[in-house]
Each structure stands twice: as structure tokens, then as C-alpha cells.
Structure 1
Amino acid sequence: MLGIGSITRKVFGTPNDRKVKATRPLVDRINALEPEIQALDDAGLVAKTTEFRTRLSEGESLDDLLPEAFATCREAARRALGLRAFDVQLMGGIFLHQGNIAEMKTGEGKTLVATFPAYLNALAGPVHIVTVNDYLARRDAEWMGKVYGALGLTTGVVYPRQPDEEKKAAYAADITYATNNELGFDYLRDNMKSELNQMAQRGHVFAIVDEVDSILIDEARTPLIISGPAQDRSELYGGIDRIIPELTDDHYSLDEKTRNVTFTDEGNEFLEEKLQQMGLLEEGQTLYDPESTTLVHHLSQGLRAHKLFQKDKDYIVRDGEVILVDEFTGRMMPGRRLSDGLHQAIEAKENVAIQPENVTLASVTFQNYFRLYDKLSGMTGTAATEAEEFMQIYGLGVVEVPTNKPIARIDQDDQVYRTAREKFDAIVEEIRMAHEKGQPVLVGTTSIEKSEQLSNLLTEANLPHNVLNARQHESEAQIVGDAGLPGAITIATNMAGRGTDIKLGGNVEFKVMEALAADPNGNPDEIRQRIESEHGESENRVIEAGGLFVLATERHESRRIDNQLRGRSGRQGDPGRSIFFLSLEDDLMRIFGSDRLDNVLGKLGMKDGEAIVHPWVNKSLERAQAKVEGRNFDIRKQLLKFDDVMNDQRKVVFSQRLEIMEAEDVTEITEDMRHQVIDDLVDEYCPPKSYADQWNLEGLYAACIEKLGIDVPVMSWGDEDGVDQDEVRERLVKASDEHMEKKAEAFGPDTMRQIEKQLLLQTIDGKWREHLLTLEHLRSVVGFRGYAQRDPLNEYKTESFQLFQGMLDGLREDVTEKLAQIRPMSDEQRRELVAQMERQQQRVEQAAAQAPAGATTPEAEAAGPAVAASEPLVEGFDETDPATWGNPGRNDPCPCGSGNKFKHCHGRLA
């Protein structure tokens, strides 16, 4: 019997069906325009773009232009790429333009879909198309750039360590392709610049995020951080690392579900004894003393490095460097580092060079960066399971776009074995059977270690295969392109966001490129014709064998990752099948309660090598995955709640910086600051409603000399009749204004304006960096307020606001004091002062520019890339002691090892 909900859906359709149906009239209008647009020549297509922009300026909306713009873009793509978009691709483009997430299955041509809303919205302002890696950014920009070029638009691509001028040109283009990391970092870098013309980004109007679930959900657990080198504590990490392996199971407790590990009381006693023997803990001092806070922190990080982070799963060691591995894509993340000393603890564990820790220069979460855009949209093959999060955090709806052809893939029930050995034996046998009948097999694993373990088993079984993981990152496109050849076996560590389709029979384009490389003098047309003929035969063989067979060796924590792997098979109506092989020893099964299932299977008397196959097992596993997804959502929500507090402050600081950079003259701003400082001084030393004999005029006199640089007869004012607080304030304002006017005359108005602007920006940046560090410390301790029945988030909001107010007060005082103390100089000294201030700003910007692309990490509290310090050129170099620097010439390399000239680095202090 059907329920009420089922009957309603049968009669009225689902909400998704209604959204899809609503786009049909628009698609019909686009199709009706096709003959008219096809009649235009190439110049006519470019003229259409000019016409659309004119109509926009005359009051028409983008929605009014949509049918014509989409029809024009479809014709440009047909001419430039030989691809004519299907109706479902036009639908996807409409949903993207409306600010939704379009869920389109793998192989439905999402890259082409993005061109339609990108073209339409680029008529009104800059459009950013966000990809998951630099390879896809470059590939898509070059590929789809032909379409935009045919329409008279420009295309740019942003990549790591790009020269400034090239980067500005890329952002100046109508449509810019970039990774989420580069966009976020460039936003932070722009807000560390000292001149408007140095900024690269041109606002945040419209963004289309490819693989939106990977970028806005998986990678959004951690903030992007630009950091600079701090104190070197290599010896401490090394000492702690020697102790950790001596710990026994009684010394710590491990919770794999929450990825948390803590010392027990026995562990603390053992550590105290060991640390005292090593001289790291003073006699009589315990780990519970306040002086031991730093030591306890590093001990905890050392324990986490050993017990929670596994080599070849969470990271790999290459060329003496610990490189993190993205848990969602299996790719290496060079340049990204775990924060709070955790990366250093892993370096000590692996016995490689330990890089210094870092201090935060600027940070932002992906959530708050992408919420800067006036309109945001995204596309992926798997978003429906996270629809609630997309709506709550970003206000994005998810629409499932129908496939162009019905899906013919057969999804089989999971096979569950008792042990990993039985599971792998069954996997090898299943692969052998598929290989023998010529069916290509894509084998999905969850880690490098497991992919290599399976590779060894296949080698023993004499089954030829390719392995795709972080180690083979460079040959990724080639391996994926060959995965559809008859009988091919490809082992892949996570297939999310690979960007290259697996085509049955192999990839023609790759084969043509290979043949042309092998025979440069050959006839390209003949080579292509021969390869296409061979490909047709290969494709038919694969189709007869059943299409691509996706075999997963275990379930991931997220259902989306499983669905992405499954979706590699059955593209564009191709045949295919998928199956998951599991064992009770898999991480997900082991952590989320496989004991009871093991007991049941034991009582059933399952034989060695026998599997349990039932839809109920699938359902229970999906429930376990949903729990993990819910927990990860909570982590992201919590991170965002705390960052929202900082984000309000970040917006104030960044908008203030922008206002200062845009202003020709900031004298009014510095004057307001100075007058506020005078108000505060008068309130402090001559409190309201107090008598003159109660005033602290000695303190006020000293403060006027120190803070305002004026020597006024404050001491005698208390003896005058009729002098109250307001009169004192007015006299100080008049004296300080006159003092600053004389200073401006002595410096010259242009130089004074430049000095004021640079001083303001430098002081804001310095105060903001200090504030970020303070907030980090506050965040690390505020959680303990929960023990006192106080809400940590409310406590954080209250205290961070007080700290921000204190920062603004300190900013006013610092700027006023520094400007008051500046003395007129000779022309040469004046130029040197301005140049010195510019160099100081450049050092901050340089640290930002050197920040490697990418900062998200597998840890919720981890954060970002480091600017690694180089080895000093002079032995015994001490940054605080010029006597240890040797005697370098102005143009010699700086002895600190930065690679800059001495005069541009530490020599700027000379």
C-alpha cells in the first residue's frame, strides 16, 4: 500500500521534478533561436556580445538575455570545439545562473555546462570558475577559452607562484579559472598590499565551483592561513620524539572515532620522570604547573603524530620532506603544513629536517571567502546527500539534472567478509575473471598503502595493472585515459575530481598525441583515422564484456566519495557494473561497531572465504556513514561559528585598509585618531566630575610629551580659574594640531601624506597580526569554560570583542605616538625613511607571496601552509644581534639565508 507521500509524489512530482520542468520553456526558446544564430558568421557572434552589453546598460536584466546568450554560446562551442550541448546541459547552465548547485552525473559534460552561465554573467562583471587542482584550471581555461574567444571575451588562469603582473592580467580577464586555494590566498594577499594598484582581484561577483562538494564541504573543515616563520624548536621536538615510542598502551587512550588521543595519569607520571632525566623538566616541576603548558602542548602533538598520522596514508616522505596527502583526492599537497607544531612532530617522527613553526599573518575559512560572492553556484556528480549543509551554510539549493541517456550501470550489493585476507583473495579472483573476458576494471582504494598492497597481490597473480595514487600524480591523466582499454586494470586511490573521463575502449585524443609524438613526420589525419578505427573495435569489445567494472575495496567515511567512484562507470548510457568488497577489519566497519556483526556471522557458521550479501547490510553501512558525515558537519559548523566572530572583525580591518589605500589624503583619519587619544588622556588624568586639585597633571604632562610630542605647561593649568576638563582638552587639541601642521610643513605635504598612509597601513597590519595570535590562544583555552557551565562560543564572542576594542585603542595610540615622534630630515634621509617603510611592507607582502598554494589539512584545527625559513648563511646568526651577522656588503646576500640582498632584508635596519 502506498503512503500519502508516495501518492503525492506520483501525482504532483517531486520538488526536483518541478524545478526541472520549469526550465523546459527556456530550453525550448534557446533551441528555437538556433537557426538564427547559426546563420551568423564568426564576427556576428562577437557582435552579439557587444549587443548584449549595450542592452544590459540600457536596463535589460541577465534573465532577459539568457535565451539568446545561451544560444550564442552553444553555437560558439559547436564551432570552436565541435561540441553541441544537449538540452540537459542547457538545464544545468540555467540552474547555475540561478545560483544553485547542479548535480550532474560523471560524463555529462560539466566543463562545457559552466561556459553558458559564465558567458552570460561575464557580460555584467568578472566571473571566477573554481577547480580542484591547477592541472584542471589550466586545462579548462585553455579548452573552454576557445569558446569565450569566439565570443570576444578574454580568459585568464591563476596558478601558484605566478608573477604579479601575470596574475593581475589573469584577474582582469572576463572569466578567470583558478583553484579555491589560490583564490583564497590572493584575497588575503590583496589585503596585505600597501597600494591599490598592487591588488589583483576585482571584487567577488559570480563564482562557479566545480566539484563543489569537495571544495565547499570536504576542504572547508580548516581555514586558509598565510604564515611566516617563528621560533625554531627543533631540539625540543627531537627530544620529545625519542620518548613517545617508549609509551605503552596504559600511558594513553585512543579514540579513533573522534581522532583524539590523550595521556592517562600513568602516562603523565612516566613522562615527568623521563623529561626530568633528559633535562626538559626542572626538578620539582610537574606537567600540571602553568610553566609546563608549552611542554604539554608539544607532548600532545608528538603523541598525535605517532598514533593518529600514518605514513603513506596521511602523508608521504619524499626528498627528505613530509608531504601531506589529501584524504579526499589522494593527491600530494606540497607546501601545506599542519599547524600548532603538529607538522614538526611528524618531521621528528620521520627523522627529516624539522622546519620552524609559523606565526599567522592572515587567515580566512573557505565558507567565509565564498560567502563574499554576490552570487555563488556549483556543480558536481554528488551533492544530494549534503543538501542540508549547502543550504544552511551557503544558501545554495541542490537540483538533480537528468542524464542525457538513461543509466545502464548495474550496482550490485556489497560483499562482506570476516577478514581482510578473505576479502583480498576474493577481489583478486573477481579481477581475474573480468580481465580474462576483456572487461576493464577500476579498483578503488582508500589509501596509498592499501593500493600498493593490492598491487603486490595482483603482481603475484600475474595480472598486469596500473596504480594511480599520490606517487604517480604526474601521470594521472594518462593512467585514467587508459583505464577503459579492454582488460585494463587500474588501481586508484580516490577518484574524486580527477577531471578526465574514462572512455570505453580508451581515450582517442591521448592515443593520437602518443602516436604523433612517436612519429612527428606522420600525417595527422591518417594517424587519427587509423586510431579511431582501432578505437571502435576496442570500444565494441569492452561493451560486449559489460562495460567498465568499478570494484571498491572498502567504504569511505562519506557516501559521496563512494558515489563518485561508482559514477565513473556507466557514463552517457554506457553499460557497466559496480560492487563494494568489505571486511570486518576495514576501518569504517571496525570503528563503527562490527563486533556484534562478527558474533552473528560466527553463529551463522560462515565458512572461510564466504561472504554475506544482503541489502540490509548496505543500509546499515549507509547509516554508519551518515553518522560520520553528521559529525564532520558539526566540526565544520563549529569552526564556522568561531570564524564568523573573527570574520566580522576581518571585514572591518580589511575595509579600513581599503579606505586608507583609496584615500589621497589620510590626514583627517590620523587627526581623528589623535583627538580620540587626547580625549582618552584627559579622561584618564583629569577624570570627569573631579576637582582640579585631584588631577594628575604630572602624569598628563609626561603623557603629552610621550604620546603627542608636545611640551605644554600643563602643570600650571590646575591653578588657573575656569579651567575645566573641556578647556584642557581644547588646549591640547590646539597645541597638537599646530605641532603636526609645523611637522607637515617641514616634511613637505606630499611626503607627509605618504608617511601617514604607510604608517597607518603598517600599524594596522602589525596590530591585526598580534590580534590573530591572541585570538588563537583564546580559542585554545576557551573550551575549558564549558566545565564552569559557560558557553565557550559566547565567552569567545565577548572576549574577542573586548580584545578588538583594545586593538583599536592601541592602534590609535601607536599611530599618534609614531607620527608625533617623527623629526624633519634632509632630503636624502627623508627618501630613505619612506623607502625603509616601503621595504618593511614589502617583507610582509613577500611572506604572503611565498605562501604555497593550499592550506586545508585533514585536521579540523590544523591550518595551512608555511613559509619555510632557509638555513642562515652565517654560522651562529642571531636576528636580534647584529654582531653575529658578519660584515656583508649592501648588495651581498643577507646572512639570514632569505635569498634577498642584505639591503632589502636585515640591512634595512642599518
Structure 2
Amino acid sequence: MVEILSKIFGDPNKKIIRNLSSIVSEINDLEKVFESFSSQDDFINKTEELKNRVLNGETLDDILIEAYALVREVSKRILGQRHFDVQLIGGIVLHQGKIAEMKTGEGKTLVATLPSYLNALSGHGVHVVTVNDYLSKRDASWMGPIHRFLGLKVGCLQQEKSFILPEIPGENFDGDFEKLIEVERNIAYSCDILYGTNNEFGFDYLRDNMVDSKSRIVQKEHAFAIVDEVDNILIDGARTPLIISGPVKDRGQDYKKFAHLARTLHVDEDFTSDEKNRSINLTEDGINKIEKTLNISNLYDQENFGVTHFIENAIKANIHYIKDREYVINDGQVVLVDEFTGRLMQGRRYSDGLHQAIEAKENLKIQRESATYATITLQNYFRIYSKLSGMTGTASTEAEEFDKIYSLDVVQIPTNQPNIREDVPDLIFNSEKSKFNALVKKIRDLQKLGQPVLVGTTSIEKSELLSNLLRKNNVNHQVLNAKQHEKEALIIADAGKEGTVTVATNMAGRGTDIILGGSKSVGEKEWEIHNQKILNLGGLVILGSERHESRRIDNQLRGRAGRQGDPGGTQFYISAEDDLMKRFGGDRIQSIMNMVGLDEETPIENKLLTRAVEGAQSKVEGFHFEIRKTLVDYDDVINTQREIIYQLRKQAFSDELLQEKILDIIHNEVEDLVTGFSLNDRNKEDIDLFSQEFSKIIPSSKSHLEDIENITGDSSILSEKLHEIIDNQFVLLKENLQLDQFNGWLRFVLLRSIDSQWVEHLTIMDNMRQGIGLQAAGQRDPLVQYKTIGFQMFEDLMFRINRDISRTIFNVGVNFESNNSTKNSNDSLRTSKGSMMDNVNSGHGEKRIIGKKIGRNDPCPCGSGKKYKKCSETETCGAKV
């Protein structure tokens, strides 16, 4: 159907490229103009001119042609690199808020300098997002001089550190890392262009919404982000949310006990295992064995829920999470390995006790479980940006997901030179042993010819297995996996040298080009000789030791060869025993192999098998997409709630909004109190209860309520009287405290009330999320139930926050009956901080008279994004109660 439509209407991607080519021609026409600039001052003056034109009403599109021509000229002078026409097209696509799919070696890093400069002219910061600290530091130092030469400030984020680039001394800056200047985080964020990893940007956002002072907020805005390796960050990394957490009760001995118990249990006998979903189910024999060992009568009694959680984690840690595959042990700690890139994910931990179960399995020190203080998925973090774009060599296979989740279109950018790489059909073997034997022989033969070889593996475990086989066969080689993360650039620099064999985990080394002939550090003339020799041999050969779960990852591996029109070749060696085959279609492939009837050592090329492999990949791609889609569906619920809470926090840092908000909260609380109190048929007990509740808001309110028995009829009279009392007491509080102390007290109460309740709410929501799947057993949609219960919980949260604030503000310790208080206001403030926390933490068991309702025009907390009055009328709204 797609092919038929393309024939009728033409290829839409080609139309886009054709339309953009006319803009490129106009950029080229300006090249001579900027070549005539004689000094750096000329370029800085031009930058100031462009900024002023934007301030005076011109759009960024109006100045794009001049801006891009200017950047290209500076790149020629600073780096000796001139943007190709296709790179200009890529830069335009990025500015338009789309994904530019550019093949490996097409210079994506240089492309990003164009839209980052253009968008920085608006006065709003641009964030360039990379996959790791090394690349963010490299790119800031490598590309940053272009922007510094043009008069813009450039910064770089690293884990726990921040840097800025110094002024550029003329046109001879060498991009040395040591010339970066370490600065405070907020200074780095004040730069026009800031390089950093997705994790650093995301965690800074969460930390900004935990601070108690406006001066500690570092991220000012989210205007424009350019995401390098966008598929890796927004697709592969999207399954793991960013979490800031703190320790809870130490359960280390429990984890050790259940790790020991798990070692006595056997698959199929005591439990069944689902490799695909990484889950287990206990059998009757297993349940009986556990109950006997633990001396309990029923494992699934409510009081034993924690036991089942411990034992299931312990078993999963034993059989589904393997050392040197899902994680490595580094300095006595379990460090996770990114399954898509093979890189270490420092600081990332599995949640829900799984990480502790792995530590117990490996007999390591068990770190305490943690409570979530703040969390966000990468999907929802990057959707905060007003404009988002990305670059990668492989995005087309995930175009639907980019569109559905991020509203991002994918545009395929033509290569600068024709691609002459030869992709040879897969070789399929009956067993893993025969596959590796054939692979080693192929590598040895290529090395004898002098042709460089890059071998891709899917895990550290497999890379080390292959490395051992190569060593036994006297094949010199280098290994690039998470354990050699620090040496990554050096290993990749030599991967294109004559006779070099490099074994790499998945796409470890991604982001760094493999140059045929090796590093140019040997000198230009000598390198040209080496380069020509490798070209004559046929370029770099890529051998895959098995198919990855995603076709996109396989395409990334293939893309390391044949850059910029270079020759090269690729081929995958796979077997029926590979992980992908076992999890998604191994039985079918094994039966086809048996039907063909060849011996174990003989590989075959078969269309049926190739389709079976591609079918297995399609299954797992769909499976992972559903996981990511489900994650964002559930996080959309908490995301709407998070936006409301974070907006409330922001009001704490505006003195005017702060006072207005606090008064509004207290007045609403009083209004709810009046609503729950009937003026008719009341008795002394009702009046005492009402007085008792109001005195929790105004501690000295008894004298104000002496005439309550005389108030009859319309409750608005009572309401008006109470609101008057609140306003007067608020003014008295303000007068008894200096203005800074007054605002500081309000801010302290608001933030501490929000933060303590929000942490508890996140824990409750997370626990509910873990068990919500059981709703399906009752023929109820778990997501709808999550929205419904989540809305109710959010109502309770807002009620608790408002109650805590209302019952704390006037408990500062000042005698409000008299303006002539002799008590030192500083002493009152310090004393009241302790009593404030008593109020915040003590109220959970108090009787609730009436909850604070969500306004009809407020965002619906069910996560739909609609106003409450509209959304609550729909069938699927979780706010319907």
C-alpha cells in the first residue's frame, strides 16, 4: 500500500528534501559574503545584529539563512570543516523540531551547531543532549569553540560537575579538555548552549523541584533540546524512569536469608520461568518447600505478602539477571549495564527490592531500600520542552513511536556520498558452539588479509566468551564493553587499523567514528598510506555474533562500516540457541533447521529462516513498544499530579503569590469547615466540635467564637465572620514578624507540607501501580482503575497538604490577642519549626470533615490533560467518583 501511494503521490521524504534544497542554495549564495569577514569582531557584531533583529520582531526562520552561513564560515576557520549541503538540510530539519535520520559518519555532531546557534539567538538557552558524560564533554570542547567565536557562551554538564568554555583566543583553539573551567551548576545553565546527558538534565529538573530556596534552582526554562542518538535516549532509555530516593528500614538480613533459600529451589520443579517477561511462578511443590523452610502455614496469607515479594525477587535475581550480562560488579557494587549500548549505567539501580536481591545473591554489601522522593520518565521530561528535535542513524523503524509519544516526524537525510557497503545475508547455524567456531575462523582469515574487523555481541558475557575463543586460536584482538568504558575512545580510534580485530558489546563506542587506517595522530601522509591500503582491501568488515532484539540495533552495528562512501561489508552469524531465538520463536527455527537436515557445522542461508528471525524481532519490538507505551500511560496520570504539585511549589518562591496562595488555602479550609457545619438543629456538642476544629487553625480563636450561638439563618454570615478573623490574624502575623521572616515562615510551611505529603503519595501510588494488574482478573481495565483510584488519592493528598498548611501557619508561637508581644520573632520562628513538623506528621489519623474539591477549570488529575469539568463527563475519566 505504501509503495502504491508513493507511486501516485510521490515519496513524501523526497519532497521534503527537495523543498529544503532551495534554502540550502540561498545559504550557499552567502558564502562569499562571510568569507570576506576579516576578524572575530566581525562575526560577534553579526551575532549581535541577528539578536537585535529577533528582539525587534523577526522570526528565527527569517534569519536562518544568514545564521547557518555564518556558522559554516566559522567552522571552516576554527575546525577546518565545511558543512556539506546535506548537513545544512539536517540542521534545518532539527530547527523545525523534527528528527534527522543521518547515517553513521555523516557528521551529526557538526550538524547540531547550526540549529543550536540559531535558536540561542532568541535569548532562550539550548540544551544539546548526549548519551554519556564523555560525549557531552567531547562535543562541548570540540564544537563549542564555534559558538564562542561567534560570541555565545557554552557550558557542559557532567555528573556532579559543570564547566564552561573560556573565550576563544583567535582561530587556533585546540579544543583541549583541560581548558574547560569548572563552575557552579547555575552558571552552566545560564549559558546560551549547554551540553549534557539526558540523566543530568532530568535529575536537575527533579532536584529543582525539591529545593527550599529560589537561589538553588538551576534550570530556568525548557525552550529547545537537540537530542543526539535520539533513539537510544527516547526509545531504549525510556523504559527506566529517573528516580531520586532516600533510604528506608534496613532489610539486609532478610535479603540474605531469601537469597540462600532461592538457591535451594529448582526451575520446573519448584517454579516455572518466563524468559520473555522475566517473571516466575511458584509450583505447588515450591510453595510447600518454602512454607516448610520458613515454618509458615500459608505463603499467600495477607501477612505473608512481603515473604512472596522477597522470594520472587530472589529467584528472578538468580535466573533472569546474570552477571556480565545485565550487570557487572565494580568496586564491590552491582552496576547495571545498558542492554542496548553495553555501557555502564552508574548510579542507576533496579527498584522494588530487585537490586538488593542481586546484591544478596553476589554476597555484596546490601544497600538499603529507598523511598521515592521524586521521579519522572524520560518521555514526560522531554515533553516539557517547547521544541524538541533529535539526530540518529536509525529512526525510521521507530517512526510510529516517535510520532505517537513525542509528536516528532522523522526525515531521512541523504548521504553526502553514495553508500557502497555490501550487506551479506545471515549465516544460520544449528548450535551456538558451531556458530562461534565458524565466526572465529572467519575473523582469523580476515586478519591474515589485514582487513580490520568489528565484531558485535549482545552482552559482556558473550563478548568475553568470544574473546576467550579468539585467544585460544591466537587471534590478537581488543575488547570494547562496559568494563573498558574509560578506554572507549582509544579502542575505537584504532579499530580501523590494518589487521585490527575489535570485539564490541552491542553499540559500545557509538558516537565515535571508526576511521579506516586508524588514528590520524600518526601524521597526514602516513595516515593516507594506511587509509588507502584498507580501502583497497575492502574497508571495515562488521560481523554480528547474533541478532539483537531490535532491527534498529542491528542497523546501527551495520552502520559502522561504509561511512562517507567508504567500502565495507556486514554479515550476521546466528544460531537457534541464541537468546532472541529461545525467547521469541526458537522452536519454529529449530524445526526448520531439523527439516533441512544439515550437520551441525554447516550453516545455511534460507528465506524461511530469515523471515522467522525477522518475525521474532518484530515480536520483541512490539513487546517493548507496549511496555514503553504502558509506562507513559501510567506516568501520564502521575505527571498531571506532578505538574500541579510543582506549580504549587513554584508559588512558594514568589512572595506576592505565596501570601495570596496561603490565604486562599486557609479560606478554602474554613469554607469546607462551614459547609460541614449545620446552623439549624445544632446543639452544644456540635458547636464545641466546630470550635475545636477552628481552633486548630487559629489556636487563640475561642474568644472569637463566643457569639457563634447567636448566629442563625444563612451560613454565609458565619462564613463571613470567620474569613474576617482569618484576614485579621494574617495581618497580625505579618506585623509580628519582619517581612523576610514572615515570607520565610510561609515558604517553610508550604514546602515542608508539600514535600512530606508528596513523598508519601509517590510511595502509595507506586505500591498501587505494582498491584494494579490484578484488577484485570475482575474484568476491569487496570489503567482506568489506576486513574480512578489515583484521582481519589490525589484528592486526599491535596486535602492533607491544605489541612497541614492551615493548621500550622498560625502556630508560630506569637500571642495574636495583643500586638504588644515582647517575644523575639526569631525565637518564635525557630520554636515553631519543630511544632510545625509535629502538625505535619500527626494529622493522618484525624477525622476528615470534608475534602478540598478540584476546581472545574483545573487540569483533571486523572492524567487526560483536559479540564476537570470536561474530562469528568467522559466514561474513561479516573476522576469520576
TM-score by length of 2: 0.89
Cα separation, 1, equivalents of 2:832 and 2:151: 44
- 2:537 maps to 1:538: no
| Most deviating of 661-670 and 117-126 | 661-670
For the residue of structure 2 that corresponds to 1:501, the secondary structure is coil
After superposition, the C-alpha distances for 1:422-459 in whole angstroms (9 at most, x for unaligned) are: 11111011011110111000011111111111111111
Following superposition, the deviation at residue 830 of structure 1 comes to 4.5
Q: Which residue of 2 aligns with 1:173?
A: 191
Cα separation, 1, equivalents of 2:209 and 2:299: 41
Q: Is the Cα–Cα contact under 8 Å of residues 743 and 823 in structure 1 kept in the other structure?
A: no
Following superposition, the deviation at residue 290 of structure 1 comes to 1.3
Q: Do the aligned partners of residues 166 and 611 (structure 1) sit closer, same or farther apart at CA in structure 2, a change above 3 Å counting?
A: same
Q: Which residue of 2 aligns with 1:804?
A: 794
| Most deviating of 803-812 and 115-124 | 803-812
For the residue of structure 2 that corresponds to 1:63, the secondary structure is helix
For the residue of structure 2 that corresponds to 1:102, the secondary structure is strand
Q: Is the Cα–Cα contact under 8 Å of residues 697 and 714 in structure 1 kept in the other structure?
A: no
Q: Which residue of 2 aligns with 1:161?
A: 160
Q: Is the Cα–Cα contact under 8 Å of residues 589 and 609 in structure 2 kept in the other structure?
A: no
Alignment of 1:257-268 (within 5 A): 257-268=276-287
- 2:288 maps to 1:269: yes
Q: Which residue of 2 aligns with 1:16?
A: 13
Q: Do the aligned partners of residues 628 and 7 (structure 1) sit closer, same or farther apart at CA in structure 2, a change above 3 Å counting?
A: closer
Q: Is the Cα–Cα contact under 8 Å of residues 171 and 201 in structure 1 kept in the other structure?
A: yes
Q: Which residue of 1 aligns with 2:223?
A: 205
Alignment of 1:12-161 (within 5 A): 13-41=10-38, 42-124=40-122, 125-161=124-160
Q: Do the aligned partners of residues 108 and 749 (structure 1) sit closer, same or farther apart at CA in structure 2, a change above 3 Å counting?
A: closer
For the residue of structure 2 that corresponds to 1:581, the secondary structure is strand
Following superposition, the deviation at residue 296 of structure 1 comes to 1.5
For the residue of structure 2 that corresponds to 1:323, the secondary structure is strand
Q: Is the Cα–Cα contact under 8 Å of residues 755 and 834 in structure 1 kept in the other structure?
A: no
| Most deviating of 787-796 and 133-142 | 787-796
After superposition, the C-alpha distances for 1:510-535 in whole angstroms (9 at most, x for unaligned) are: x4xxxxxxxxxxxxxxxxxxx32221
After superposition, the C-alpha distances for 1:356-386 in whole angstroms (9 at most, x for unaligned) are: 0000001111111101111110000000000
Cα separation, 2, equivalents of 1:605 and 1:791: 48
Following superposition, the deviation at residue 395 of structure 1 comes to 0.6
Alignment of 1:202-601 (within 5 A): 202-249=220-267, 250-276=269-295, 281=296, 284=297, 286-495=298-507, 498-509=510-521, 511=522, 531-601=523-593
Q: Is the Cα–Cα contact under 8 Å of residues 517 and 531 in structure 2 kept in the other structure?
A: yes
AA aligned to 1:735 is I
Ranges in structure 1 where 5+ consecutive residues have no aligned partner: 512-530, 841-910
Q: Do the aligned partners of residues 692 and 585 (structure 1) sit closer, same or farther apart at CA in structure 2, a change above 3 Å counting?
A: same
Q: Do the aligned partners of residues 336 and 230 (structure 1) sit closer, same or farther apart at CA in structure 2, a change above 3 Å counting?
A: same
Q: Do the aligned partners of residues 665 and 69 (structure 1) sit closer, same or farther apart at CA in structure 2, a change above 3 Å counting?
A: closer
For the residue of structure 2 that corresponds to 1:361, the secondary structure is strand
Q: Which has the higher contact order (CA 8 A, sep 6+)?
A: 1
Q: Is the Cα–Cα contact under 8 Å of residues 101 and 393 in structure 2 kept in the other structure?
A: yes
Q: Is the Cα–Cα contact under 8 Å of residues 811 and 836 in structure 2 kept in the other structure?
A: no
Following superposition, the deviation at residue 718 of structure 1 comes to 6.4
After superposition, the C-alpha distances for 1:310-352 in whole angstroms (9 at most, x for unaligned) are: 0110011122111111111111122111111110000000000
Following superposition, the deviation at residue 722 of structure 1 comes to 3.4
Q: Do the aligned partners of residues 718 and 114 (structure 1) sit closer, same or farther apart at CA in structure 2, a change above 3 Å counting?
A: closer
Q: Is the Cα–Cα contact under 8 Å of residues 584 and 620 in structure 2 kept in the other structure?
A: no
Q: Do the aligned partners of residues 497 and 131 (structure 1) sit closer, same or farther apart at CA in structure 2, a change above 3 Å counting?
A: farther
For the residue of structure 2 that corresponds to 1:225, the secondary structure is strand
AA aligned to 2:291 is E
Following superposition, the deviation at residue 32 of structure 1 comes to 0.7
Following superposition, the deviation at residue 102 of structure 1 comes to 0.5
Q: Is the Cα–Cα contact under 8 Å of residues 271 and 283 in structure 2 kept in the other structure?
A: yes
Following superposition, the deviation at residue 777 of structure 1 comes to 1.7
Q: Is the Cα–Cα contact under 8 Å of residues 438 and 541 in structure 1 kept in the other structure?
A: no
Cα separation, 2, equivalents of 1:669 and 1:88: 53
Following superposition, the deviation at residue 158 of structure 1 comes to 0.9
Cα separation, 2, equivalents of 1:715 and 1:104: 74
Cα separation, 2, equivalents of 1:740 and 1:149: 52
Q: Is the Cα–Cα contact under 8 Å of residues 489 and 509 in structure 2 kept in the other structure?
A: no
AA aligned to 1:326 is D
| Most deviating of 595-604 and 214-223 | 595-604
Q: Do the aligned partners of residues 572 and 628 (structure 1) sit closer, same or farther apart at CA in structure 2, a change above 3 Å counting?
A: same
Q: Which residue of 2 aligns with 1:864?
A: none
Q: Is the Cα–Cα contact under 8 Å of residues 673 and 812 in structure 1 kept in the other structure?
A: yes
- 2:692 maps to 1:692: no
AA aligned to 1:180 is N
Q: Do the aligned partners of residues 98 and 749 (structure 1) sit closer, same or farther apart at CA in structure 2, a change above 3 Å counting?
A: closer
Q: Is the Cα–Cα contact under 8 Å of residues 229 and 358 in structure 1 kept in the other structure?
A: yes
Following superposition, the deviation at residue 603 of structure 1 comes to 3.5
AA aligned to 1:28 is S
Ranges in structure 2 where 5+ consecutive residues have no aligned partner: 163-181, 815-822, 839-881
Q: Is the Cα–Cα contact under 8 Å of residues 50 and 121 in structure 2 kept in the other structure?
A: yes
Tell me how many residue pairs correspond in the alignment: 808
- What's the RMSD between the two structures over aligned residues? 2.1
Q: Is the Cα–Cα contact under 8 Å of residues 97 and 389 in structure 2 kept in the other structure?
A: yes
Question: Which residue, 763, 767, 775 being the options, matches 1:777?
Answer: 767
Following superposition, the deviation at residue 837 of structure 1 comes to 11
Cα separation, 2, equivalents of 1:51 and 1:746: 53
After superposition, the C-alpha distances for 1:492-517 in whole angstroms (9 at most, x for unaligned) are: 001256221100000114x4xxxxxx
For the residue of structure 1 that corresponds to 2:653, the secondary structure is helix
Cα separation, 2, equivalents of 1:708 and 1:828: 20
AA aligned to 1:162 is K
Cα separation, 2, equivalents of 1:716 and 1:723: 17
AA aligned to 2:73 is E
Cα separation, 2, equivalents of 1:51 and 1:359: 51
Cα separation, 1, equivalents of 2:12 and 2:835: 60
AA aligned to 1:38 is E
Q: Is the Cα–Cα contact under 8 Å of residues 698 and 715 in structure 1 kept in the other structure?
A: no
Q: Do the aligned partners of residues 491 and 719 (structure 1) sit closer, same or farther apart at CA in structure 2, a change above 3 Å counting?
A: closer
Q: Which residue of 2 aligns with 1:789?
A: 779
Q: Do the aligned partners of residues 322 and 496 (structure 1) sit closer, same or farther apart at CA in structure 2, a change above 3 Å counting?
A: closer
Q: Do the aligned partners of residues 59 and 461 (structure 1) sit closer, same or farther apart at CA in structure 2, a change above 3 Å counting?
A: same
Following superposition, the deviation at residue 692 of structure 1 comes to 2.7
Identity %: 45
Cα separation, 2, equivalents of 1:117 and 1:132: 19
For the residue of structure 1 that corresponds to 2:602, the secondary structure is coil
AA aligned to 1:218 is D
AA aligned to 2:551 is R
Following superposition, the deviation at residue 255 of structure 1 comes to 1.0
Q: Do the aligned partners of residues 166 and 675 (structure 1) sit closer, same or farther apart at CA in structure 2, a change above 3 Å counting?
A: same
For the residue of structure 2 that corresponds to 1:820, the secondary structure is coil
Following superposition, the deviation at residue 162 of structure 1 comes to 2.3
Cα separation, 1, equivalents of 2:132 and 2:623: 27
Q: Which residue of 2 aligns with 1:888?
A: none
